[in-house]
Amino acid sequence: MIENVTNTDDAERRSAIVLLSGGLDSATTLYLARAAGARLIAVTFRYGQRHAVEVEAARRVALAAGVSEHLLIDLDARVFRGSALTGDQPVPKDRVPDTGEIPPTYVPARNTVFLAYAVGLAEARGATDIYIGVNAVDYSGYPDCRPEFIEAFQRLITLGTRAGYEGRPVRVHAPLMHLTKVEIIRRGLALGLDYGLTRSCYDPDAQGRACGGCESCRLRLEAFRQLGLRDPAPYAIHEPPA
């Protein structure tokens, strides 16, 4: 099939807002949105997170993906207090995922705020789609990463925005929702994503190297191990051989 190149012109393509933290999941989501043919507007939030090295990772990934635009948005850090990710508690290093409890790394209403901003931006820019890399399989048990949360948000914006009121609501996509971490990495690799650009650690050292012990590192390292690959991101610990 011969591609119609004019149809893929920036001006004629649908635009998508992609929430990009710089971690493994959001980077993969960006590449999936790109593969879907969208013109990409990546958005990264600074909210006082201690793992600010993520923001640099987001820049690298956005550049590599060839996004049309990458917005850094500063949020009022007072709103997100109380989490291990904003430095108000220690990051646990031995937590077993999937216990049914919400871990101390939960950040109050984070995805609600991120998605709310994304919707405002989508309406302001005429974007038709929003991509978010939430996942309910290999995840930390955050309530705002579950499918029912995404469905509730879709309902909210279908009711509460001009676009929704006029019958063309912005669509929220969570393409990783039901994938394992191994499946996520497989998809990203197939799309040419260099995971060495991404950072997932909740508690990196001063050089930006991952701790290897937090829940996010453990989920990630285990998935690369299962794939028989070495995680290309830098670790402060000596990583066990794959």
Interface with a copy of itself (CB under 8 A), residue total 44
Per CB under 8 A, 153 contacts a copy of itself = yes
Strand 39-46, strand 69-74: pairing: parallel
Cα dihedral 210, 215, 218, 224 sign: negative
With CB under 8 A as the contact rule, the residue among 8, 9, 14, 143 that binds a copy of itself is 143
With CB under 8 A as the contact rule, the residue among 36, 55, 112, 189 that binds a copy of itself is 112
Please name which of 41, 177, 28, 22 lies closest in space to residue 120, comparing C-alpha atoms. 41
Taking CB under 8 A as the rule, which mask of x and - marks residues 159-198 in contact with a copy of itself?
A: xxxx-xxx--------------------------------
* Residue that the structure tokens 């710089």 belong to: 22
CA distance 199 to 92: 18
Per CB under 8 A, 10 contacts a copy of itself = no
- For residue 220, how far is the Cα from the chain centroid? 14
Per CB under 8 A, 139 contacts a copy of itself = no
Min. distance of Cβ 49 from a copy of itself in angstroms?
13
Tallying the residues shown for the chain, one arrives at 242
With CB under 8 A as the contact rule, the residue among 39, 110, 187, 220 that binds a copy of itself is 110
Min. distance of Cβ 110 from a copy of itself in angstroms?
7
Per CB under 8 A, 215 contacts a copy of itself = no
Which residues from 48-77 bind a copy of itself, rule CB under 8 A?
Answer: 71, 73-74, 76
Pick the closer one to a copy of itself by CB: 62 or 211.
62
Residue 3 CB contacts under 8 Å (≥ 6 apart), including other chains: none
With CB under 8 A as the contact rule, the residue among 79, 177, 182, 227 that binds a copy of itself is 79
CA distances from 153 to 32, 132, 139, 142, 149 (A): 21, 12, 20, 15, 6
Q: Residue 5 corresponds to which tokens in the numbers above? A: 């190149």
Min. distance of Cβ 219 from a copy of itself in angstroms?
20
Backbone torsion region of residue 98, taken as left when φ is above 0, otherwise alpha when ψ lies between -120 and 50, otherwise beta: left
With CB under 8 A as the contact rule, the residue among 36, 97, 117, 183 that binds a copy of itself is 117
CA distance 86 to 72: 18
With CB under 8 A as the contact rule, the residue among 11, 124, 206, 228 that binds a copy of itself is 124
Helix, strand and coil percent figures for the chain, each rounded to 5? 40, 10, 50
Instruction: Give me the residues that bind a copy of itself (CB under 8 A), please.
Output: 71, 73-74, 76, 78-82, 102, 106, 108-113, 115-117, 119-125, 143-144, 146, 148-149, 152-153, 155-157, 159-162, 164-166
